[in-house]
Amino acid sequence: MERHQFKITINAPRERVWDILWNDNTYPQWTAAFCEGSRAESDWQKGSKILFLDGNNNGMVSTIIENTPNEFMSFKHMGEVKNGAEDTQSEKVMQWAGAYGELYPDHARWRNRAASRYGPGGRV
């Protein structure tokens, strides 16, 4: 199992950070640093599908595993989106499907942890 962990300290109240991360108006602003035209399409409810898309309707399809406002957000990445079409079954996707992305406060710090777990066929 391969794991990657990234940390950053943000000097702001967690409610402000949460709003900037997941607000439909601000999400495209902070994600533009690595993907211009980025957006997230979801109702943000636990168990719901979320699409992380660029300006060309390419990106990732995921499921919201947990959403505790101002506390914790977890996604399970299920596949990719190409030209608006979802792919959750191709051999390429099966190499990484099931990876998790998590964002949560830890002693007044936000940590982002992405873990890839590979089982048979790439699935956990």
CATH number of residue 32's parent domain: 3.30.530.20
Domain count, the chain: 1
> Cα separation of 91 and 76, whole Å?
18
Name the residue among 70, 63, 20 with its Cα closest to residue 43: 63
The SS3 call for residue 80 is strand
> pLDDT per position in the chain (124 positions), as tens?
577 666 777 788 888 888 988 999 999 998 898 889 999 999 999 999 999 999 999 999 999 999 999 888 889 999 999 999 999 999 999 888 888 777 765 544 444 444 444 333 333 3
The SS3 call for residue 97 is coil
pTM, to two decimals: 0.75
Domain span at residue 6?
A: 2-122
